[in-house]
Amino acid sequence: MEALIKELVETYGPSGEETAVRELIDEKVRGSVDRTFTDNLGNLFALREGPAPRLMFSAHMDEIGVIVTHIDGNGFLRITPIGGVAPHLLVGQRLRFKDGVIGTVYHEKIKGLKELSWPKLYLDIGAASREAAKERVRIGDMACLHQPFVNLGERYLAKAMDDRIGCAVLVEAARRLPPSLPQGVCFLFSVQEEVGLRGATTAAYRLEPDYGFAVDVTSVGDTPEAPLMAVSLGKGPAIKVKDSSVLCHPRVRELMIETAEREKIPYQLEVLERGGTDAGAIHLSREGIPSGAVSIPCRYVHAPSEMVDVSDVRHAVNLVMKLSTRAWPLLDSGNGSR
Amino acid sequence: MNAEEIKELIMELSRTVGISGSEDEAAAAVSGYLERYTSQIWRDRLGNLIAFKGGQNDGAEPFSLALVAHLDEIGAMVTRIEEGGALRFTGVGGIDPRILPGQPVQVHGKTVLKGVIGAKAPHLLTVKERREELKFEDLFIDLGLSREQAEMQVRIGDLVSFDAPPVAMVAGNSLAGKSLDNRAGVAALVICAAELAAVCHRANLYFVASVQEEVGLRGAITAAYGLVPDLAVAIDVTHGEAPGLAPPDVFELGGGPVISVGPNYHPALTRRLEEVASADRFAVQREADPASPGTDAWVIQVSREGIPCALLSIPLRYMHTTVEMLNLDDLTNTGRLLASFARSLDRPFVEGLACF
C-alpha cells in the first residue's frame, strides 16, 4: 500500500484540476469493482453492485494549491489560494504546475509575519522577463506543493495526505472486498472538496445513496501546545461525531462504533471544531442521507508536509472494509429509522 | 387552546431537550400534541418531524402550505475529559461563553448526569484575566467525578444541555426559559393546528418541526426538497426590546407577531399576512430584513424551482440564553394568525404567486 500512497500524494491535483489523480485511481481501482464512471464535474465513481441499501464512501481527490492572478513586468507571478492555504506556510516552498514548471514562493519586504498576506507573496519561476514567464505560465494556471513522499518508519510524511490518504484507503478497501456483499457499495473519489464540498454535492445527488461516509483526514491535539482535541496519531481511525459541516447521524455513528468494537479495530471519537468534509454535503442531498465519517488522524493539515500514522491507515482500511461487509438496515423512504 | 393550555404547552416544550442533531426527545413531545390535530405524522431521514392534514379543495388541483419552525436548541458537546475529571466542551450552535459560568447543566452520557459549569472565584482572578473576554478554553464542566469515574459515564461527543426550568413571571403575561428559541415557534405550529382542527381549509398543510437550524438551517433544506410545498411560512423568534436596545433592531414584547419584509419573502405572502391580521384585528409589527435573517426561510426559498416564503417572528428577549423571555399573547396570536392565513388561501392565490 505504501507504493500506492506515494504515487497518489506525489500526483498533481489542485481543486478543479484532478484529472491526473482521477486517471491514476481509475487504473488502480477498476479491477476491484463492477464498473467505474465519471460525471460532469469530474467525480469518479467506483461501484460494487448489490442489493439495497447502497452505501457511498467518499474521499476527495483534490488538494489545496494556488492560482496565478498576474504576471508582473519582471516575470514574477502573483498568486491567490485554492482552498484554505495559510500564506506563511508557503514562504520558501517550491510549487509545481501541471506541466512541470517549478517555482519558489517568497515575499516582499515585511516587518514581521503579521504583515504577511497574499498580495505580499510572489512566485518566482526563474523567468528573466515578463515575456519569458508568459511562455511558461498563463493567468489562471494552478500550482500545488512540490514535496516528496517520505516513509519515517511508523509514520508517513507528504503533501496532499489530505485527502489522497483517504483515496488510498478506499482503493485498498475495494481491493480487499469479498466477492459477495450484503449491499451495494460505491467508492466515490470526489472533486473540489477544498473549495466547498462541491463534487460530493452533485455526486450524492446523482447516486442517491442510503448512507454516506466521508473518508478524510482530521486534525489532532497531540502536538506541542496544540488546541485541545482528544484525537492523537496512532490510536486508530476516528469516528466523527461533529465538525463544522455535519452532525453525524446518531444511529450511523452507533453502528460504526459497534462495527469497530466487534471487529476489534481501535478507534477514537472525533469532535472537530473547525473544518468540514464531504459528509457535510452528502447528508443534505435531496431528502437527506444519514451520514458519518471515518477520519484518518493527521498532523499539520494544509501544511506542506502532512503526517499520518501507518497503523491508523491500516486500521482505517479495515474499518471501511468491515463497514462495507456488515449489513445495514433498509430505510423507508421519507420515514427514516432514528 | 385556552390560555392555561398554551402556557402548559410552551413550558413543556421549553423543558424538553433537543440539541441540534439529536432532537428525538423534543420531537416526541411535539408529536404528542400535533397528532391530535393532524392525520399523518412522520420523521424524515434527517429527523424533521412532519405532520400532515389534508384540505378540502372542492375538486380543484390540490396545493400545499408548509409551516416550518425549528425544533432544535443550542447546547454543548464534550470534547475532552481532563486529568482531574473536568469536561472540556464546544458549542453546538451559537452559545455565548459569557452566560456559561455558574450554569447548571445536564450531560447526556450513559445516563443523564447533573453538572455545573465552574468558574474561577473572583478573588483568584489576575488583573489581566478580569479584563479579558471569556473563551470556551477557559470553561469546563464539573460532574464532581474523578477522571476514571467520568470516563465510565461520558464519551467524547456526548451532548450537554442547560438545566434551566422555565419561569412564569409574576406580573404580566410573560415567561422565561431555555430553548424558547424556537420552541415558541413550534408551540405556534401546535396552536395553529388546534385552531384549524375543526374548520375547513383548502390547502394541504404540512406542519414541520425542522432539525439542525442552529447549525446552518440544515433540516429545512431536506424538508423543503422532500415536501415540495407550493408556499411556506417559517416561524421563528426575533429580538425583543430591552434596556440598552432600540428599534429597528428590537420589537415590543406584547406588540404582536412580527412580519418580515425583504428579498427573502414573497411580497404577496407578506401582504396576505398583513391583510389577514388587519381583518382579524391582530396587532402586528413589521421587520425589514435586507439580507438573510438566518432562518429556515432562507433555504426554503431556493429549494428546487423556488418556493414563495414568508417569515413570522415572535419577539424574544435575551436570545440564546437560558432566560429567553416572551409574551404569551404574542405566542397565541402568532398561532392564530397562521391559522387565519392558512384558511385564506385558495388555488387562484397560489397560481398568482408566479405572476410578478
The interface predicted TM-score (ipTM) is 0.90
Sheet order of strands, B64-70 included: B40-43, B49-53, B204-210, B64-70, B231-239, B309-316, B258-261, B285-288
Separate counts of helices (H) and strands (E) for chain B: 10, 17
Q: Which residue has cell 432600540?
A: B246
Distance of alpha carbon B223 from alpha carbon B232, whole angstroms:
11
pLDDT of residue B266: 97
The confidence score (pLDDT) of residue A322 equals 98
Write down the pLDDT at residue B355.
Answer: 85
Give the rounded distance of the alpha carbon of B263 from its chain centre: 22
- B25-30 mean pLDDT: 98
User: Distance between CA A310 and CA A153 in Å, rounded?
Assistant: 8
Let me know whether A34 and A178 are in one domain: yes
How do strand A184-190 and strand A54-60 relate by DSSP bridges? parallel
**pLDDT tens digits, residue range B291-346?**
988 999 999 999 999 999 999 999 999 999 999 999 999 999 999 999 999 999 99
Q: Is the same domain home to A113 and A212?
A: no
Mind telling me how many Å the CA of B49 is from chain A's nearest CA? 10
Last residue of a domain, one of A145, A173, A193: A145
Instruction: Supply the DSSP symbol for B3.
Output: H
B79 in contact with chain A, both atoms CB, cutoff 8 A: yes
| One-letter amino acid for residue A122 of the chain | Y
* Residue B3: closest CA among B231, B250, B215, B191: B191
Compute how many other C-beta atoms are within 10 angstroms of the C-beta atom of residue B57: 15
Q: Report whether B206 contacts B235 (CB < 8 A).
A: no
CB-CB under 8 Å, B222 with A287:
yes
Burial of A41 (0-12, 13-18, 19+ CB in 10 A): middle
Which residue numbers in chain A have pLDDT < 70?
332-338
Pairwise CA distance, residues B75 & A266, whole Å: 29
pLDDT of B28 above 50: yes
> Domain range spanning residue A76?
65-145
- On whether both A125 and A246 belong to a single domain, the answer is no
Q: What is the pLDDT of residues B43-99, one digit of tens each?
A: 999 999 999 999 998 888 999 999 999 999 999 999 999 999 999 999 999 999 999
Residue A73 CA from chain centroid, whole number? 37
Residue from A257, A287, A295 to probe the interface with B (highest B Cβ count within 10 Å):
A287
Let me know if residue A337 belongs to a domain. no
Q: Do B21 and A242 touch (CB under 8 A)?
A: yes
Q: Which three cell numbers stand for residue A296?
A: 484518518
A94 with A141, same domain: the answer is: yes
Contact criterion met (CB < 8 Å) for B225 and A229: no
Q: Which pLDDT value is given to residue A337?
A: 36
pLDDT in tens, B271-281: 999 999 999 99
DSSP state of B19: B
Q: Give the orientation angle of helix B328-344 with respect to helix B180-196, to 10 degrees.
A: 50
- Crossing angle of helices B3-15 and B328-344, in 10° steps, is 100
Longest dimension (CA), chain B: 75
C-alpha A187/C-alpha A242 separation (Å) is 22
Report the percent of chain B where pLDDT is more than 70: 100
CA-nearest of A230, A209, A212, A232 to A273 is A230
Q: What span, in angstroms and rounded, lies between the C-alpha atoms of B175 and A113? A: 52
Asked if A38 and A165 sit in the same domain, the reply is yes
CATH of residue A31's domain is 3.40.630.10
Quote the pLDDT of residue A334: 47
Backbone angles phi, psi at B31, to 5 degrees: -60, -40
Residue positions of A annotated with a catalytic role = 193
Flag whether A24 is in a domain: yes
Q: Tell me, yes or no, if B81 comes closer than 8 A to chain A by beta carbon.
A: yes
**Rounded to an integer, what distance in angstroms lies between the CA atom of residue A313 and that of residue A130?**
45
Q: What is the second-level CATH architecture of the domain B3-73+178-352? A: 3-Layer(aba) Sandwich (3.40)
User: CB-side exposure of A104: number of CA atoms within 13 Å?
Assistant: 5
Domain ranges in chain B are: 3-73+178-352, 75-162
Count of the separate structural domains present in chain A:
2
Q: In chain A, which among 238-297 make CB contacts under 8 A with chain B?
A: 241-242, 247-248, 250, 253, 268-271, 273, 283-284, 286-290
Q: How far is residue A21 CA from its own chain's centroid? A: 12
> Which residues of B carry out catalysis?
213
Q: pLDDT digits over B104-140, tens only?
A: 999 999 999 999 999 888 898 898 888 888 888 889 9
C-alpha dihedral, B182 to B183 to B184 to B186, nearest 10°: 100
Inter-residue contact B297 to B311 (CB < 8 Å): yes
Contact (CB<8Å) B225/A286: yes
A297 Cβ contact list (under 8 Å, min separation 6): A217, A218, A220, A231, A232, A233, A234, A235, A237, A238, A268, A308, A309, A312
Q: Is A330 part of any domain?
A: no
Give the span between the Cα atoms of A39 and B334, in whole angstroms. Answer: 47
**Residues in chain B closer than 8 A to A268 (CB atoms):** 156
The answer to whether the Cβ–Cβ distance between A336 and B78 falls below 8 Å is no
* Cβ atoms of residues A22 and A46 within 8 Å: no
- B156 vs A268: CB contact, 8 Å cut-off? yes
pLDDT of residue B170: 80
Domain boundary among A145, A177, A208: A145
Spell out the alpha helix ranges (H) of chain A: 2-9, 19-29, 130-136, 161-176, 198-207, 250-262, 279-282, 310-325
- Assess whether A78 and A227 both reside in one domain: no
Could you tell me which chain B residue has the CA closest to the CA of A336? B45
Average pLDDT, chain B: 95
Answer yes or no: are the C-beta atoms of B195 and B55 closer than 8 Å.
no
Cβ burial, residue A109 (10 Å; 0-12/13-18/19+): exposed
CB neighbour list of residue B101: distance below 8 Å, 6 or more residues apart: B117, B118, B119, B134, B139
Q: A136 and A36 in one domain?
A: no
Q: Name the CATH topology of B75-162.
A: Elongation Factor Tu (Ef-tu); domain 3 (2.40.30)
CATH number (domain holding residue A131): 2.40.30.40
What angle do helix axes B180-196 and B3-15 make, rounded to 10 degrees? 140
Give one DSSP letter per residue of A226-274, joined into a string: PPS-S--TTS-PEEEEE-SS-B--HHHHHHHHHHHHHTT---EEEE-SS
Phi, psi of A107 (to 5 degrees): -130, 160
Which residues are CB-contacts of A330 (< 8 A; sequence separation ≥ 6)? A52, A53, A210
Which percentage of chain B shows pLDDT scores above 90?
Answer: 90
Do A249 and A172 sit in the same domain of this protein?
yes
